Structure 1
Amino acid sequence: MDRSTIRIRPMALTDCERVSEIRIRGWQQAYRGLMPQAYLDGLSVSADAERRRARFTGPDGSVTNLVAEQDGTVLGWAAYGPYRDGDVLTDDAELYAVYVDPAHLGCGIGRALLTASVERCAGRPRMLLWVLRENASARRFYERAGFRFDGAEEPFEAGGVPVPEVRYVKTPVG
């Protein structure tokens, strides 16, 4: 794949179904062995797309969704916005998600989405993100991009099984 032909743009409402497909397939591949298989098998693209469409038109506007496309096909998605400290939005930025169509992993799409997200958050004191503690490949991906584990850990549960997350930070942003 020619990385120069990857285009990063704001997500449109019409992208919701494809983004949900990428997100669900991404979870099913990336979290195999880290979360219960029954939980992963039960994820629904159509249900996720319905929630995504409802949120996309929501009044808040604090979340920015980007897609990566090549030749008119969406191949990846990222979302970022203010860091959430409980119910409080802070001055820091948070990368909420980066997912790539599993058939296109390793082609630079995730890196392009991450870079665009970080660049668009320039001026914020820090950018933080949460990643499953046991997801070694994702942790390496973020570390190569200059993020560092800051020691914070948060409980997360999938299908009744604990799958803790750890926090990464990049300072300064940009």
Structure 2
Amino acid sequence: MTIRPYDAVRDADACLAVWRAASRSGHPFLGETALAADAVLVRDVYLPKAEIAVAEEEGRLVGFVALLDAVVGGLFVDPAHHGSGIGRALVLHAAERKGALDVEVYEANAGARAFYARLGFVEAGRRETDDQGRPHPLLRLRRPG
């Protein structure tokens, strides 16, 4: 596996495909309509604003981490590669660059909560709605530098 900087021309479609697959797996409670609307935001707003590193295996993009300063705005790994160390490698790559990290995860996403806990993140806050105002609580997690 290699981690490299994001190239908007080359990687946008692959990142969006990984985002869709990982979101369906980790956020089934959102439903397809919400995911379709969120895909537009990811493509048009979030990816262009973020500092992104992508993970490749055999030339295929299999995951990415999107940073907004020292906040993990998104960490997504192709579900076929979950448990293979790609997510861990991307978070550690981000931590090397930024030091302390924050992230928000859906409270209902037990897998993400456990993943971040294994990497030393601890709960630092909570809010009752997500960025789109939907009633899905988010936990803010922090990893010291």
Q: How many residues align?
A: 144
- SS for the counterpart of 2:96 is helix
Report if aligned partners of 2:128, 2:135 keep a CA contact under 8 Å in 1. no
Report if aligned partners of 1:35, 1:161 keep a CA contact under 8 Å in 2. no
Counterpart in the other structure of 2:137 = 164
User: For each residue in 1:109-166, what CA deviation from the matched residue of structure 2 results, as whole angstroms up to 9, or x when unmatched?
Assistant: 11111110111113xxx321100011111001000000001233352166x7411101
TM-score of the aligned structures, taking structure 1 as reference length: 0.73
Say if 2:83 is the partner of 1:106: yes
Report if aligned partners of 1:157, 1:164 keep a CA contact under 8 Å in 2. no
- SS for the counterpart of 2:30 is coil
Q: Residues of 1 paired with 2:72 and 2:110: CA distance?
A: 18
Report if aligned partners of 1:76, 1:99 keep a CA contact under 8 Å in 2. yes
Say if 2:111 is the partner of 1:137: yes
RMSD: 2.4
Counterpart in the other structure of 1:36 = 31
Structure 1 counterpart of 2:6, one-letter code: M
- Relative distance call for 1:133 and 1:121 in structure 2 (3 A) is same
User: Deviating runs (4+, > 6 A) in structure 1?
Assistant: none
TM-score of the aligned structures, taking structure 2 as reference length: 0.86
Counterpart in the other structure of 1:87 = none
Report if aligned partners of 2:126, 2:137 keep a CA contact under 8 Å in 1. no
- Relative distance call for 1:50 and 1:137 in structure 2 (3 A) is closer
Q: Residues of 2 paired with 1:99 and 1:116: CA distance?
A: 14
- SS for the counterpart of 1:35 is helix
Q: Residues of 1 paired with 2:67 and 2:74: CA distance?
A: 7
What is the percent sequence identity of the aligned residues?
Answer: 29
- SS for the counterpart of 2:13 is helix
- Structure 2 runs not aligned, ≥5 long: none
Bigger Rg, structure 1 or 2: 1
- Structure 1 runs not aligned, ≥5 long: 1-5, 83-92
Counterpart in the other structure of 2:44 = 51
